[in-house]
Amino acid sequence: MYWLIKAINDDPNLELQLLVTGMHMSPEFGLTYKDIEKQNIPITKKIEVLLSSDTAVGISKSMGLSMISFAEVFQEIQPDLCVVLGDRFEIFSAVSAAMIARVPVAHLHGGESTEGVIDEAIRHSITKMSHLHFVATKEYAKRVIQLGEHPDNVFNFGSPGIDNIHKLDLLSKNDFEKSIDFELGEVNFLVTFHPVTLEKNTSKEQFLELLNAFDTLKEAKIIFTLPNSDTDGRIIIEMINNYVAKNGDRTIAFQSLGQLRYLSALKYMSAVIGNSSSGLSEVPTFKIPTINIGDRQNGRLKATSVIDCEPKTDAILESIKKAKSNDFQKKLRDVLNPYGKAGASLRIKEKIKSFNIEGILKKKFFNI
């Protein structure tokens, strides 16, 4: 959301009230609120809600604490509009509090589908509590309307995350290597693997299959980014740390690479491997392969650069082989990112600025 936040902050007719919460406030996940402060963007409130637990009970308690905290903040700052992105449980709590506080909500990236995770239900629930909808594709716009939202309030402006790729001055290979203190090789993989939250006790098994695949790829240099705070995320974190400890000559792990280093890394990767949404929404712009493992991203639109595979060692190795093949490499030249091109952030800001939100709280279900 950086470029949207910046556009709002830079507009003399708009007042930015930035609430920072969740993993941004956690030492375990890199205290990334500091990255926001480095950009000279004022943080209105820091809302600590992340309990040190990744169990179902712990996350439910985090959601409850989030709702209480956001209710208090909304009462204090009295915003005219709450702008949110995505499908995290913290955002669900924030939007729930906004609904009760009678604060209109503008939701980014609604209408998408991730059949393997609880984000699916959370995202569609946020849609029903929201009033303006900024979607990334025509298909997602259609789905939001199918949920009963009026077409006049649904805007297909593409993904604002793509603005980062085009606006940031990405690092050279040498500067990137210096920034992470790690030397790349001829074959490089960037790996982000999150738990599949609608499956019980599969995180360890699935990630072990991936690590077994890497054991046979001794020539590959591997950069891990740690998973988020979903249920069973800490299992994967422990497995990554143990693997890096045993394979320090060719692997490295980060809590968070940050925007600049993450996107710079994509310029020099042979493939991105895992089940992160970034592999679908941002990576295709770089015309490199995404090995999308398992069911987490089932239902999302995918570029032709995305290779789906089962969370099994043989399937992962076969997919990597396909990604490196001459035929597939030729196809990458013509890849188009289905999530749009640069410019979404400014279009969203202008629509928020010009849209008359008077009376918007009273919604009618739109029948198709």
Q: What is the dihedral of CA 344, 347, 348, 353, to 10 degrees?
A: 160
Query: In angstroms, rounded to a whole number, what is the distance separating the alpha carbons of residues 367 and 128?
Result: 14
Beta strands in 109-250 (DSSP E): 132-135, 154-156, 187-192, 220-225
pLDDT band, residue 33 (cuts 50/70/90):
confident
The stretch 312-322 carries a mean pLDDT of 97
Query: In angstroms, rounded to a whole number, what is the distance separating the alpha carbons of residues 327 and 305?
Result: 12
pLDDT at 204: 87
Please tell me the pTM assigned to this model: 0.79
Q: Label residue 102 exposed, middle or buried (CB < 10 Å: 0-12, 13-18, 19+).
A: exposed
pLDDT digit string (tens) for 79-99?
999 999 989 889 999 999 999
42 three-state secondary structure: coil
Percent of the chain whose pLDDT exceeds 70:
95
Q: Which domains does the chain have, with CATH numbers?
A: 2-160+343-354 (3.40.50.2000), 171-332 (3.40.50.2000)
Report whether pLDDT(58) > 70: yes
pLDDT digit string (tens) for 113-123?
877 678 889 99
Longest dimension (CA), the chain: 61
pLDDT at 106: 98
pLDDT at 230: 63
pLDDT at 262: 94
pLDDT at 219: 94
pLDDT band, residue 300 (cuts 50/70/90):
confident
245 or 24, higher pLDDT:
245
pLDDT at 229: 64
pLDDT at 217: 96
pLDDT at 295: 86
> What residue spans of 168-305 are helical by DSSP H?
173-180, 203-215, 233-246, 258-266, 278-281
**H or E element in which residue 108 lies:** strand 105-108
pLDDT band, residue 189 (cuts 50/70/90):
very high
Report whether pLDDT(197) > 60: no
| Two tokens, residue 332 | 């990458």
pLDDT band, residue 22 (cuts 50/70/90):
confident
Averaged pLDDT score across all residues of the chain: 92
Placement of tokens 């009618």 in the chain? 364
pLDDT at 69: 94
